[in-house]
Amino acid sequence: MPITEILARNAALYGNDVSLVEINPEIRERHGTTWREYELVETNPANRYRREITWREFDDTANRFANLLMSRGLGRGNKVAILLMNCLEWLPIYFGVLKTGAVVVPMNYRYTADEIKYCLELSESDALVFGPEFVGRVEDICMDIPRVGTMLYVGETVPTFAESYDKLVPFFSTEPPRVHLTDDDDAAIYFSSGTTGFPKAILHAHRSLVCACEVEQHHHGQTREDVFLCIPPLYHTGAKMHWFGSFLTGGRAVILRGVRPDWILKTVSEEHCTIVWLLVPWAQDILDAIERGEINLSEYELDQWRLMHIGAQPVPPSLIRRWKEYFPHHQYDTNYGLSESIGPGCVHLGVENIHKVGAIGVPGYSWEVKIADENGEPVKQGDVGELCVRGRGVMKCYFNDPEATAATLRDGWLFTGDMAMQDEDGFIYLVDRKKDVIIMGGENIYPVQIEDFLRELSAVKDVAVIGLPHARLGEIPAAVIELKPGVECTEEQINTFCARLPRYKRPRKIIFDNVPRNPTGKIEKPKLRERYGAGSLVAEQMTK
């Protein structure tokens, strides 16, 4: 079953129910307590604090957009890129592309003009839908991307090199296109996060998207009564594929434009959200705001919030212990996934296994997992190897990159590049990225283990451990530490705390700096290695 059939079914069964809500807290703050009066006179819906659409409107808009694209000759065999911030239009546009039989290509909103051009060319995109935040970047490259023959702009002031999505879409039919889709048809190209270099184009079929719906709903039991709060960027598999569980059951989703702790809690309270997916930094920020007295939980209606889950990165056990102190009734789950396996769920902890916090979990619903050596053979239980997954949600290939595909897909297994181990109870622990392992004097050091240890120190907000070049040892571990606001901590205090670690795991260098993360929460270690690696003053000092 192609995923578009789920949308059509929801529209038929729950047509008048709200499907999507968009909340833009900046507008409320900009207009203070008079935002409701402001909305009564504001003619542009995009400038409103709260917008919503029903399932029928969702499906109708997707059909209208599909018919618009097909009027331009776009359909099966074409690629349509989306470059938008999170907004109410995002998902109807996404499904509209799928309804034509074309491949949808979501793009990272942090891309520079050159990166946008690179990804459009890599994916062989024929059309681009973009918003006001990207006008300058698209204008810089519009003459250099001749293949992109259709450019549609979502917003009021339409640039001269594009057409207006808002003005065109209402004139097209709400009848669904007569396009026959199958599970094996190409559906979407997602880009890898780029934390290890230029992003790769990851091609998925409709079966992968439907697999994500079923896996997520099976793991977290979404019903029509659940309200899912979506905060992460929709271009990434993480946020959207978690929402897919609610999508499968016709549950409502709330798209929040902002990550401030008070905005998150206010939205949960006002929209009666029951499921919230957070990144580690956002959960950390909420807890810090509570402990600084900036947030009073009694001011919010939070009793209906039943599930908090985290993914996209290793989760420090200390964070969950703190979270349960303030939210003892919450179910908790963590999910492991990657864009090559259609996002979250191929490994998950399970709400019943909170006693195993620190593990990424067990094989997800309908997934197989093995931990393999360099030859692809399973390692002994307790030994470290490369995590491999197999299931319906595995990508078809890296688009136009047979060499990378062959290196990653072997005998049906997806080799993730993540190093892991399995304990005696069958729970899998993520040790580190294969490329992030530090080899000091022939000894393998896994940065995540040191990072989890350092996060136990109350002064530490975030930490990243990287390898720095060393003339004798090859590499040594360095800890880049971001302290909590207003908190002081010295290098000597850090070193004293680290005395509890085995000597070879202790950081040889302490660096106080911000820890950069990409929009999906992953630490951007290449940036740190470039800043402090070979050629930097730190590296030069450490090799003496």
pLDDT for 152 beyond 50? yes
pLDDT range class, residue 78, cuts 50, 70, 90: very high
State whether CATH 3.30.300.30 applies to domain 437-542: yes
Q: Does residue 95 sit in helix, strand or coil?
A: helix
403-433 in b/e burial notation, b at 16+ Cβ within 10 A? eebeebbeeebbbbbbbbbbeeeebbbbbbb
Q: Mean pLDDT in the chain?
A: 89
pLDDT for 41 beyond 90? no
Give me the helix-helix angle, 55-71 and 4-14, nearest 10°. 140
- What CA–CA distance (Å, rounded) separates 338 from 311? 10
What are 317-347's pLDDT values in tens digits?
Answer: 888 889 999 999 999 998 888 889 987 789 9
Alpha-carbon distance values, 496 to 59, 206, 246, 454, 501 (Å): 59, 53, 47, 11, 10
Written as one letter, the residue type at 379 is: V
Query: In this structure, are strands 275-278 and 227-230 parallel, antiparallel, or unpaired?
Result: parallel
Q: How many CB atoms lie within 10 A of CB 490?
A: 11
Question: For the chain, which residues make up each domain, given as ranges?
Answer: 4-258, 307-433, 437-542
Q: What are phi and psi of 226, to 5 degrees?
A: -75, 150
Burial of 353 (0-12, 13-18, 19+ CB in 10 A): middle
pLDDT for 534 beyond 70? no
Residue 357 DSSP symbol: B
pLDDT of 194: 52
Residue with more model confidence, 197 or 495:
495
Contact 89, 100 (CB under 8 A): no
Contact 362, 350 (CB under 8 A): yes
Extract the runs of DSSP E, i.e. beta strands, from 411-459.
413-422, 428-433, 438-440, 443-445
307-433 adopts what CATH topology? Luciferase; domain 3 (2.30.38)
Superfamily (CATH H level) for 4-258: ANL, N-terminal domain (3.40.50.12780)
pLDDT of 509: 92
Tokens of 448: 């995540």
Same CATH fold assignment for domains 4-258 and 307-433: no
- What CA–CA distance (Å, rounded) separates 276 from 269? 12
- Average pLDDT for 427-435: 78
- What CA–CA distance (Å, rounded) separates 244 from 226? 12
Contact 118, 142 (CB under 8 A): no
Residue with more model confidence, 164 or 198:
164
Q: Name which of 194-198, 202-206, 290-294 the model is least confident about.
A: 194-198
